[in-house]
A and B are shown apart, each in its own frame.
Chain A
Amino acid sequence: MAVDKCYYLIYVYRITVNGFRIGGIVLAKYILKRLVYLVIVFFIVSFMMFAIYNLIPSDPAMVQLEPLRKSLKTEEFRQRYLALRKQLGLDDPLVVRYARWMGFIKDVKGKHEGLLQGNFGYSVTFKRDVVDVIKVPMANTIILNIISTIITLAITIPLGIFCAVHARKPVDSAIQAGTVVGYSLPTYLIGIVFIYLFSVLLRLFPTGGAKTPGSTYTGIQELLDRLYYMCLPILVLVFTGLAGMTRTVRAAMIDTLSQDYIKTARAKGLKEKVVIYSHAWRNALLPVSTSIMGWIIGVFTGGSLVIENTFALNGTGRLYWTGLNSTDYELVLAMQMFYCLVGLIGVLITDIGYTLIDPRVRIDK
């Protein structure tokens, strides 16, 4: 067992140092396979989304003709209505409409104008193209998530290792008890409590919003202003992320520390620091890396969706919520596709990263 592990450790080392020279072809094949799989899943998911979207009772033809209803006779109106439905392609089967929306076949105007051509639709609420609507919120969400992720990881990884090394001691139990609170409470409740503590009582941060109302800052000042408004959301995201990640890191680390090769390393008289940071930690990283990615995806979609609503922060989650509430379904559909893409790419990155670190995964396939 121990020998096996050592062999793999060396193998990992060689792969990472020598690039893809050893397993390059296998890896390329694997990535290709995953990519094909991703594309297939993307189309399945997008078809499902499109089908769900089409369940919504809406009739663009009726909307267009409604102003003419009074000036036309009933029979004439009916004919015009049916003609318009045909012209807009509303009576076509779902698959055809899907293909048109995706851009596989020509649309009613005779052009390839679908999702694949970069046409994400038109937002009724904002009276602009979805692409333009999404830009600013997207930037906010990305900044919010990147900062909170970095801070969370910077805290949780050392903390998790610390807990694992001191497992079942009072310190560990205390941290465990603290973290269970963090991941048991709903995000919005933590948000409310934090608003109460930091905005109402201490008056440190604003209660919500994305920038100082009416401000005309530019350059670095604008960035600082934005960051200032993001402080509290980031704090909440870090607090909620703290619990889960610390537990993951701790569990992985405890598992690794009970392996035989750690005993071997200790037996041959290595310093405890070397054992922990050089032998144990690297192997513990494997399961952690998957959950990090999963967690980031979760935060990016679900977590920031709630946070942005609690703090009225102009991000993608808030936009999605607004879109759903104002039944702006083209916007919602585009955002949903974006979320799916984030999820799928996240899974792909995890898988590839996983095989890079741990070749066993690839060999097993």
Chain B
Amino acid sequence: MENNNTAKKKEFFLVRWIKRAFFPNKEMDIYAEEQLQSPFRLVVRNFFSNKLAVLALIIVILITLTVFIAPNYVVLDLGEQDATLVNVAPGYNMMKYPSALQKNGVRDIAVGYNYSVGVDNTGKVYVWGKSRISQVVNTAKVPDEVMEADIVKVAAGADHVVALSSDGKIFCWGNDRLGQCRLPLDIQSNNRRPKFKIIKIEASDQFSAALDDEGNIYLWGNENFVELWVKSDLQGHIKDMALTSAAFVLLTDQGEVVAPMPTSSSTVTKIPEEAKSGVIAIEATTNTVAALKDDGSVIVWGAYTKNENLVPETSSKIVEIKGGRFHYTARLENGELIGWGNDRYEQASVPESVKNADIVDFYTGSFQNYAVDKNGKIYTWGLKGFICGTDSLGRDVFARLVNGGKMTMTIGALSVIIETIIGVILGGIAGYFGGWVDMAIMRISEIISSMPFIPFAMILSAVMGTKVSVEQRMYIIMVILGILSWPGLCSLVRAQMLAQREMEYVTAAKTVGVKESRIIFKHVIPNVMSVCLVSITLAFGTSMLTESTLSYLGFGVPLPTPTWGNMLTGANNSVIIQNYWWNWVFVGAIFGITCICINLIGDGLRDALDPKASGR
């Protein structure tokens, strides 16, 4: 009994439609098929003969799939932003070191914000990555005197590079607006006639430090940002320095980590007790300092926010340590490399290839790591770059693009569904019953359509969306769009209904005694839907446009939740339009293509439905 029932069960209507549309009944002979061709199949056939519309359909489907599937993999962290990754140009070249560097052998590598500087064994300087800071400043513009000198050490700051030559000269280039390259007088005179030997240079975001072999430190850079003073009795006893973005600490030859001034108030200058003896090296990330003690233990202090303090358990002693922006990389006694701290771009996960190689040297900075094995081969891991660049808050444009697309498309689709439901029901009722019902519904629809759309949607959104969550606001916007845009569809359905209700099949249904609601929604509406399909398709495009316009004006989905509309809001000034084109070109192009394709599909459907166009 049960078996019988399931066998007779009708297939889902969509499956039936698709089957009928694509797999015609083979048993039928050609004449019978011609006669029995349903209007729906005719429309489908007409539509698929229009190559442009089919192409548009494929593109829209692809974009839709991408936008709904990709966010599962490209997860968007709404709170994520990083001042060092602001307006990074698209491309994966951040760690693409020049091949000449590997060929000649690495002498030193330093990592700036989004670029790296390297020196090969012949003393030649290379700069790679996003070295273009602004229209004028480009750290890749290495001065001629540097190219001629035999450089031994380099250090990179936010937008300036410091280099030390073998004869003890210090060179500095890049952005000098905040005094990053204003060398102190001692060093300037030393550059002409060496009195002392500089052995170590370091550069932080906006200031730099140099250490001579007598234990004196020289500091220069943006003094509004950092107090560039060192207690005079420390001079002559300094062995090492660690520069965070806004402070620095020193290591004395007694193995004690000290603050440069007793009055220093930064979190990193509050030196913990453990770090006051037996320290052999200090290193810094942006906000923390790590001290390596002679027993191999590492002490981290400062404002750690991304697990910089969670030094992993190691099998052997840590002998060397380097700091990036939010992570540390360290070498163990047995030659193994480990990393800890922020792992957002896998900068703290040492890859297998590096673990297997025989590493002699490694360099860390920002979000990048470089390691050199004994054959001179360079390994890299960390942040390569961003496929679509980053925006003015340092957020990945690609992640926002796919997640914003999901938002925009969801809002567009749901508001069209709301619009369709209201429009079809009211239009159907108005057209079928006529009289005062028709009169009332049409007046309401006229009132709504006489209200200017965007200003009205703006005020509704402003009034209703003030004290709700982003999600609720999203739904409010869908409802607003749906409620404000139904009149067009309503009058279309009504007009169709007026024609259909005079048809014989309606009379027949009435005679048989079918309920009126059933006649409207079961018999007439399906006949009307094909015409409405065009209007619905076009409405989908329009809804997306309207949503994005509202978001662009600041009355749609609020930031930081991305939509295609509010991603373009930031592009509304000539500096971004010109210099940071990736902020708007990718979004604009994808959004434009989507809308154009939706409209092309709508046009194709209209042509397919139009009996005149089919030539019959």
Contact = CB atoms under 8 A, between A and B. Distances in A.
Interface of A: 41, 44-45, 49, 52-53, 55-56, 180-181, 183-189, 192-193, 195-196, 199-200, 207, 258, 297-298, 300-302, 305-306, 309-310, 320-321, 324-325, 332, 335-336, 339-340, 342-344, 347
A196 B548 CA distance: 20
B454 A44 contact: no
B81 to A, nearest CB: 23
A187 B466 CA distance: 26
A208 B494 CA distance: 45
A351 B466 CA distance: 39
A340 B596 contact: no
Nearest to A302: B454
B211 interface: no
Contacts of A53: 463
Contact of B454 (A196, A207, A301): A301
Contacts of A340: 450-452
5 contacts: A189-B584, A189-B588, A309-B572, A336-B459, A343-B450
Contacts of B447: 41, 44-45
Given A324-B458, A336-B455, A186 B450 contact: no
B596 A52 contact: no
Interface in B536-550: 541, 545, 548-549
Contact of B574 (A183, A207, A297): A207
B450 A305 contact: no
B101 interface: no
B58 interface: no
Contacts of A188: 549, 552, 568, 572
B577 interface: yes
Contacts of A52: 459-460, 463
A339 B455 contact: yes
Given A185-B596, A335-B455, A41 B446 contact: yes
A41 B592 contact: no
Given A181-B592, A186-B568, A192-B588, 7 more contacts: A45-B451, A192-B577, A199-B574, A200-B574, A305-B455, A309-B553, A335-B455
Nearest to A200: B578
A180 B596 contact: yes
A120 to B, nearest CB: 16
Interface string B59-77: 0000000000000000000
Contact of B591 (A186, A195, A343, A344): A186
B10 interface: no
Contacts of A41: 443, 446-447, 450
Interface string B450-473: 111111101110111010000000
Given A184-B541, A187-B549, A55 B463 contact: yes
A185 B592 contact: yes
Contacts of B554: 321, 325
Given A55-B463, A181-B596, A342 B452 contact: yes
Nearest to A332: B459
A265 to B, nearest CB: 20
B555 interface: yes
Contacts of B572: 188, 192, 309-310
A300 B455 CA distance: 11
B599 interface: yes
Contact of A184 (B458, B460, B592, B612): B592
B577 A195 contact: yes
B584 A192 contact: yes
Given A41-B447, A180-B600, A320-B455, A186 B549 contact: yes
Report which residue of B453, B568, B572 has the largest number of chain A beta carbons within 10 angstroms of its beta carbon: B572
Contacts of B574: 195, 199-200, 207
B595 interface: yes
Interface in B556-591: 565, 568, 571-574, 577-578, 581, 584, 588, 591
B596 A184 contact: yes
Contacts of A324: 458-459, 462, 555
Contacts of A187: 549
Interface in B14-31: none
A336 B458 CA distance: 10
B438 interface: no
A339 B553 contact: no
- The 3 A-B pairs of least Cβ separation, nearest first, read A301-B452, A302-B454, A184-B595
B516 interface: no
A180 B603 contact: yes
A56 B460 CA distance: 10
Interface of B: 443, 446-447, 450-456, 458-460, 462-464, 466, 541, 545, 548-549, 552-555, 565, 568, 571-574, 577-578, 581, 584, 588, 591-592, 595-596, 598-600, 603, 612
A81 B310 CA distance: 58
Contacts of A306: 454, 549, 552-553
A343 B452 contact: yes
A15 to B, nearest CB: 26
Contacts of A310: 572
B588 to A, nearest CB: 5
Contacts of B443: 41
A107 to B, nearest CB: 24
A49 B450 CA distance: 13
A200 B464 CA distance: 39
B492 to A, nearest CB: 15
A246 B584 CA distance: 28
B535 to A, nearest CB: 14
Given A302-B455, A324-B555, A340-B450, A193 B460 contact: no
B529 to A, nearest CB: 22
Contacts of B549: 186-188, 302, 306
Contact of A321 (B553, B588, B595, B603): B553
A3 B181 CA distance: 90
Nearest to B595: A184
Contacts of B464: 55
B568 A192 contact: yes
A107 B230 CA distance: 73
Which of B459, B463, B568 counts the most chain A CB atoms within 10 A?
A: B459
A297 B455 CA distance: 12
Nearest to A53: B463
A45 B450 CA distance: 9
B407 to A, nearest CB: 15
B452 A339 contact: yes
Nearest to A38: B450
Contacts of B541: 184
Contacts of B596: 180-181, 184-185
B444 to A, nearest CB: 9
Contacts of B598: 184
Contacts of B456: 336, 339
Interface centre among A53, A189, A335, A347 (most CB of B within 10 A): A189
A43 to B, nearest CB: 11
Contacts of A56: 463, 466
B394 to A, nearest CB: 22
Contacts of A325: 554
A52 B554 CA distance: 19
A193 B595 contact: no
A301 B454 CA distance: 7
A188 B541 CA distance: 16
Nearest to A49: B459
A268 to B, nearest CB: 24
A271 to B, nearest CB: 26
Contacts of B446: 41, 347
Contacts of A342: 452
A126 to B, nearest CB: 18
A108 B6 CA distance: 74
B135 to A, nearest CB: 12
Contacts of B577: 192, 195-196, 200
A257 B574 CA distance: 47
